[in-house]
Amino acid sequence: MAIIQLENVQKSFEQKPVLRRISMDIHEGETVALLGKSGSGKTTLLKHLNALLKPDDGRVCFQGTPIDTLKPHILRRQMGYVIQDVGLLPHLSIEENLTMPLRITGRSASQDTIIELIELVGLHEKYLNRMPHELSGGQQQRVGIARALATNPQVILMDEPFSALDNITRIQLQDDFLNLKGLAAKTIIMVTHDVFEAFKLADRIALLHDGELMQFDTPINLLTKPASNHVADFLKNDHLLLKMHQITCHQLGHHSTKTVFHALESDELKSTEKLAIMQAFLNFHS
């Protein structure tokens, strides 16, 4: 069953349609990227999922229940929210920042719980006593993710979580993101305008254009079976690299879910293996 369902969701601001009859089923445990250019409606759509915004028409259901019938605090306990600029309270220590959502929701905030939480995002407990400004941007964003995980929600909503980071930190956090213990088995819905980020992290991508859902599909289907010329055009410039990214080592005989993209970057493989992967890639496309 879908954990989140959107049925004909429509929203206008000042008579300008921003979401045009969006219907989507989001499955439990999948990572979905909301992808599109600036102003396409990604954040507006994300905010409908946890009732920060209400549709003018249509409805959003969480586990089969229309969310307008759920109490906002009950819904939000099930949906962690990670924002671009992290939003840590600057005058509170990392520990206090993490304790806050637990206290608000009446959960225990023991030292053990907090240590477990920070370890879920790959940070050492020594950071708990520090102030936010004493952490790097990447570390702060990890704390932002830990804070979203504090109430043990089923769903994590992320609005451009990595876009404020420098290139190297962003790529490192994206790579780690795939393996963070705290995010395993969560349903994640992430806004991004970065095509590579969407292809790297998402199981399915919802491509939005001017408030319209152009296609909601797996990365490989977006590339090989675009629903329209618009989808094909959107991905045209990055097409070759994206395809390379999508052919998994598994398809190429490596029993790993690592992508070719990663494999070619990796130090674990010998150059002859990298050549074999490149050859397989070329054969796949010839």
Ligand X SMILES: Nc1ncnc2c1ncn2[C@@H]1O[C@H](COP(=O)(O)OP(=O)(O)OP(=O)(O)O)[C@@H](O)[C@H]1O
Residues 126, 102, 42, CA angle at the centre, nearest 5°? Answer: 95
The answer to the question of residue 42 lying near ligand X (CB under 6 A) is: yes
Cβ distance 149 to 119 under 8 Å?
no
For residues 275 and 170, give the distance between their C-alpha atoms in angstroms, rounded to a whole number. Answer: 27
Provide, rounded to whole angstroms, the least separation between the CB of residue 188 and ligand X. Answer: 17
Q: Which is nearer to ligand X, 18 or 252 (CB)?
A: 18
Q: Which is nearer to ligand X, 47 or 258 (CB)?
A: 47
The answer to the question of residue 193 lying near ligand X (CB under 6 A) is: yes
- Count other Cβ atoms within 10 Å, centred on residue 169: 16
Q: Which stretch binds ligand X (CB under 6 A): 12-20, 125-133, 195-203, 276-284?
A: 12-20
Q: Which stretch binds ligand X (CB under 6 A): 40-48, 58-66, 142-150, 171-179?
A: 40-48
Q: Given candidates 3, 4, 9, 18, which one binds ligand X under the rule CB under 6 A? A: 18
Q: Positive or negative, the Cα torsion across 88, 92, 98, 100?
A: negative
The answer to the question of residue 44 lying near ligand X (CB under 6 A) is: yes
Residue 218, SS3 per DSSP: coil
The answer to the question of residue 209 lying near ligand X (CB under 6 A) is: no
Tally of helices (H runs) and strands (E runs) in the chain: 12, 10
The answer to the question of residue 50 lying near ligand X (CB under 6 A) is: no
The answer to the question of residue 192 lying near ligand X (CB under 6 A) is: no
For residues 145 and 157, give the distance between their C-alpha atoms in angstroms, rounded to a whole number. Answer: 10
Q: Which is nearer to ligand X, 13 or 284 (CB)?
A: 13
For residues 23 and 45, give the distance between their C-alpha atoms in angstroms, rounded to a whole number. Answer: 11
Provide, rounded to whole angstroms, the least separation between the CB of residue 40 and ligand X. Answer: 4
Provide, rounded to whole angstroms, the least separation between the CB of residue 54 and ligand X. Answer: 12
The answer to the question of residue 141 lying near ligand X (CB under 6 A) is: no
Q: Which is nearer to ligand X, 14 or 267 (CB)?
A: 14
- Residue 62 has phi, psi (to 5 degrees) of -115, 120
Q: Which is nearer to ligand X, 18 or 155 (CB)?
A: 18
Nearest to 215 by CA among 239, 235, 196, 197: 235
Chain residues in the site for ligand X (CB under 6 A): 13-14, 18, 36, 38-44, 193
